[in-house]
Amino acid sequence: MTLARRRQFAGAVFALPAILLVLGFIVVPIGQAVYYSMTQWDGITASWIGPSTWNQAFHNPTLWTALRNNALLLLSVPFALGLPLAIAVLLHQRVAGWRIFRSIYFLPTAISWVVLGLVAQRFFAYQGTLNSLIHFFGFSATNTNMLGYESTALSALGITFIFTMIGTNTMLFLTGLATLDTSLEEAARIDGAGRWRIFRSITLPHLRRFIQLAFVMTVIALFSALFSLIFVMTGGGPGYATTTMEFLIYQTGFNQGDFGTAALYGLILFVLTAIVGVVQLRLIGSDE
């Protein structure tokens, strides 16, 4: 056996455990989900129906409502990136008390999203903190109940999601700013560039990779990590106003006992997150 063949054989042997783990924990479950999505499955026994289950699921208006809610929540992504970026730039300027502010902004990251959801529920409630603040500033005739109406409940959820992502993205952008060569900024100031010019031409291009990473992390969290917030804040309501794909999977499987359709919805969510992953690879793999 030649040296090249020996190296190939050794590489295959060392890669075998990782391949078995991928097959056991990723490929096999995906295959099972595809099979169960074509069955009537109550979690214990499954009876084969066939691809017609897909046709029935795609004609379910609740599925399209959940997809619409996920699409609308994407509107919160620019704010979940822009606010942390502005905060990180200010903290990078070492304003007075910047260490304290850095800890304050990072604090939501260290708290469970269940706790944050309970706080948000109290904040947006009819007799909650938001109305108390409105009355404090003299608008006693104004009352809000954002979680009680279909037209505003999703907005309240989006605002809460933005708040939960501020700490993580701020720390990520601060990490990127810490690697910035300050001599570039100093040279730009000497040449007469203002703060906005420096930010647009030096700081922002330098943070490009960090912004890409934060974008992918935020979008994936939006599709796959909102369950706890929805569960404690709205329960998917009112109606289906705050039901997203991951919460629809829970409702279909555990509330309705239709695990076959829930498996199908899980596949749809998997495809959506896979698309985000492809976008991530294209962004990170692009030339600087």
Per-residue pLDDT averaged across 238-263, rounded?
92
Q: Is residue 248 pLDDT above 90, yes or no?
A: yes
Alpha helices in the chain (DSSP H): 3-22, 28-36, 52-58, 61-73, 77-92, 98-106, 113-124, 129-136, 150-178, 182-190, 195-198, 204-206, 208-224, 227-233, 245-250, 259-285
Query: What integer pLDDT is reported at residue 179 of this predicted model?
Result: 86
Query: What integer pLDDT is reported at residue 197 of this predicted model?
Result: 83
Question: Which sequence spans correspond to the domains of the chain?
Answer: 37-285
Binning pLDDT at 50, 70 and 90, where does residue 169 land?
Answer: very high
Q: Give the CATH fold of the 37-285 domain.
A: MetI-like fold (1.10.3720)
Query: What integer pLDDT is reported at residue 141 of this predicted model?
Result: 66
Tokens of 273: 């997150």
Give the CB-side neighbour count of residue 159, counting CA atoms within 13 A. Answer: 14
Query: What integer pLDDT is reported at residue 285 of this predicted model?
Result: 64
Strand 46-48 and strand 39-41: the pairing is antiparallel
Per-residue pLDDT averaged across 240-252, rounded?
94
Express each pLDDT in 52-65 by its tens digit. Answer: 888 888 899 999 99
Express each pLDDT in 68-94 by its tens digit. Answer: 999 999 999 999 999 999 988 888 877
Bridge partners (DSSP) of residue 46 are: 41
Per-residue pLDDT averaged across 38-57, rounded?
87
Query: What integer pLDDT is reported at residue 13 of this predicted model?
Result: 84
Quick check: helix, strand or coil at residue 46? strand
Per-residue pLDDT averaged across 43-60, rounded?
87
Query: What integer pLDDT is reported at residue 284 of this predicted model?
Result: 64
Query: What integer pLDDT is reported at residue 186 of this predicted model?
Result: 79
Contact 269, 247 (CB under 8 A): no
Omega before residue 29 within 30° of 0, cis: no
CA proximity to 233, closest of 225, 224, 242: 242
- State the Cα–Cα distance between residues 167 and 92, nearest whole angstrom: 15
Express each pLDDT in 182-208 by its tens digit. Answer: 777 778 888 777 778 888 888 888 888
Q: Is residue 280 pLDDT above 60, yes or no?
A: yes
Express each pLDDT in 107-162 by its tens digit. Answer: 777 788 899 999 999 999 888 888 888 877 777 667 788 888 888 999 999 999 99
User: Please, what is the average pLDDT of the chain?
Assistant: 86
Per-residue pLDDT averaged across 165-180, rounded?
89
Q: Is residue 24 pLDDT above 90, yes or no?
A: no
* Cα–Cα separations (whole angstroms), residue 96 to 82, 87, 90, 92, 196: 22, 13, 10, 11, 21
| Residue scoring higher pLDDT (3 or 180) | 180
